[in-house]
Amino acid sequence: MDKRKELVNEYKERKLQGGIYTISNKINGKYFLGHAVDLKAARNRFEFAVVNGSGTPLKLQDDWNEFGGEAFTFEVLEELEPKKSQNRNEFIDDLKTLEQLWREKLGSSSEY
């Protein structure tokens, strides 16, 4: 029982690393731009989708079905740590703003 409590506490106290990422199609050059409060979890979801073929963002599902998960890459564009004074919603607002800046930087011509 002590091991379980220890694991729960470790999970609660883990340091979140949020940020902006892309899932890019290596065949046609299109990309999905997203933000995540926990980049590690976002990468894990992507890797799960590659292996199992499910759980992909709906915007790129047609290409995923056509080309398969191996045709896509996950790339972190920028990392952001929450400020100590921020609550979760304020952190998400910062991530959305940062995502919009990346959208302007990358251009929308190849975005899903």
- Residues 55-75 have pLDDT tens digits of 788 889 999 999 999 999 999
Domain boundaries, the chain: 15-103
Q: Which residues pair with 109 in a beta bridge?
A: none
Regarding pTM above 0.75, the answer is yes
SS3 percent helix, strand, coil of the chain, rounded to 5, is: 50, 20, 25
CATH of domain 15-103: 3.40.1440.10
pLDDT in tens, 4-19: 877 777 766 667 799 9
